[in-house]
Amino acid sequence: MRDFVYNANPGRVVFGSGTLSRLPGEVERLNLTRVLVVATPEQEADAHRIAGMIGARAAAVFAGARMHTPTEVTAKAMEVVAAERIDGLVAVGGGSTTGLAKALAMRTDLPQIVAPTTYAGSEMTPILGETENGRKVTRSDPRILPEVVIYDVDLTLTLPVAMSVTSGMNAVAHAVEALYAREANPIVSMMAERAIAALAAALPAIHARPDDREARSEALFGAWLCGVCLGSVGMALHHKICHTLGGTYDLPHAETHTAVLPHAIAYNAAHAPDAMEALKRALSTQDPAGAAFDLAQGLGATMALERLGLPERAMDEVPDLVLASPYWNPAPLEREPLRRLVSAAHAGRHPATAPKS
């Protein structure tokens, strides 16, 4: 076994069914007295219900979270934090809601309690991606990591199937990149393989029966592990491309990760043999890139970035943006292979028929 370094992130996880009922106790355990509940505009009613659960310790609600965590939204929320003398943050929702709480924590070091309603995994990482002036920038800092995460399977039972699929594939992407990350190690690789296998089995079951509690539980467990993987090691080409597409072209987050993932796997396959062997085991296939594409497409996901709103000019722009500030990657980053990757994802071609990198 080769030498390695493993850093475990601190944090408290409460996992189960009906566990959101323990939120008031977690607020009290952290000795919080003026909590801000954050949400998206669509979840404002839910945010007020959550505030009601917390009771007198809930000081305010801010229902303005948006995808890709725009800094102007964070600035507005910071005004509420100051005006209401907030001493803690509660986020119940998906990646946009979690992102806003993390952005506020980065600026204030306020403790966070997060209860995810999707499979995004962001709640398990000390990583924040923010968008300003059309550019998405990521940073890592211990202040960003939530102190408590409440995983309540019940919160995912009504997650629409289409969103479950893309959110789950987004989580799979975190684990895939952890397998070939520069900081990859046996502990994270073990979690990544288990997580990918869990989601690959759970998503078809959820597609067939959305209220399958066992499948939902397995998917949420897998997403938790995927988030741990993402928070433990670095990111590579897949995330760099998706951050570029989201920040520059405002593409939907999970859907973009879903469409790009098979092509990122294909790009790196020849340069990450150990990762590919793990993916073959997790996906029960000899063709991990093709299997990832077939899994997502077979569950109804949109696999063409063009259909998600990516303009044709991006095929020339994205490679330059990626190369301007690249992430480490096992395969060399070169303009023409990157352009072919983006072109294949733009058209939604199967990686088996896409131009080779």
CB 270 within 8 A of CB 323: no
CB 258 within 8 A of CB 320: no
pLDDT in tens, 208-265: 999 999 999 999 999 999 999 988 998 999 999 999 999 899 999 999 999 999 999 9
**Residue 2 confidence (pLDDT):** 72
pLDDT in tens, 301-331: 999 999 999 999 999 999 999 999 999 999 9
Which amino acid type is present at position 138? T
Q: By residue range, what is the domain housing residue 200?
A: 161-347
Whether 6 is in a domain gets the answer no
- Tell me the backbone φ, ψ of residue 67, rounded to 5 degrees: -55, 145
pLDDT in tens, 152-180: 999 999 999 999 999 999 999 999 999 99
Q: What angle do CA 125, 44, 301 make, to 5 degrees?
A: 60
Q: Average the pLDDT over 138-151 and give the result.
A: 94
pLDDT in tens, 108-140: 999 999 999 999 888 999 989 898 887 888 888
**Residue 211 bridge partners (DSSP):** none
3-state class of 96 per DSSP? helix
CB 310 within 8 A of CB 255: no
Identify the sign of the CA torsion 23, 95, 191, 326.
negative
Whether 2 is in a domain gets the answer no
Q: What is the pTM of this model?
A: 0.90
User: Could you tell me the end-to-end alpha-carbon distance of the chain, in angstroms, rounded to an integer?
Assistant: 31
**Residue 353 confidence (pLDDT):** 58
The last residue of a domain, from among 102, 121, 156: 156
Of 4-8, 44-48, 200-204, give the lowest mean pLDDT range: 4-8
Average pLDDT, the chain: 95
The last residue of a domain, from among 111, 141, 156: 156
Segments in the chain forming alpha helices (H): 23-29, 44-54, 71-83, 95-108, 161-179, 186-208, 213-232, 237-249, 253-268, 273-283, 288-298, 314-324, 335-347
Residue 142 pLDDT greater than 60, yes or no: yes
Q: Average the pLDDT over 88-97 and give the result.
A: 95
- Tell me the backbone φ, ψ of residue 172, rounded to 5 degrees: -55, -40
The last residue of a domain, from among 156, 191, 226: 156
Same domain, 212 and 149: no
pLDDT in tens, 95-107: 899 999 999 999 9
Same domain, 60 and 150: yes
* High-pLDDT (> 90) share of the chain, %: 89
CATH number for 242? 1.20.1090.10
Residue 286 pLDDT greater than 60, yes or no: yes
Whether 353 is in a domain gets the answer no
45 exposed, middle or buried (CB, 10 Å; 0-12, 13-18, 19+)? exposed
**Residue 138 confidence (pLDDT):** 83
How many structural domains is the chain composed of?
2
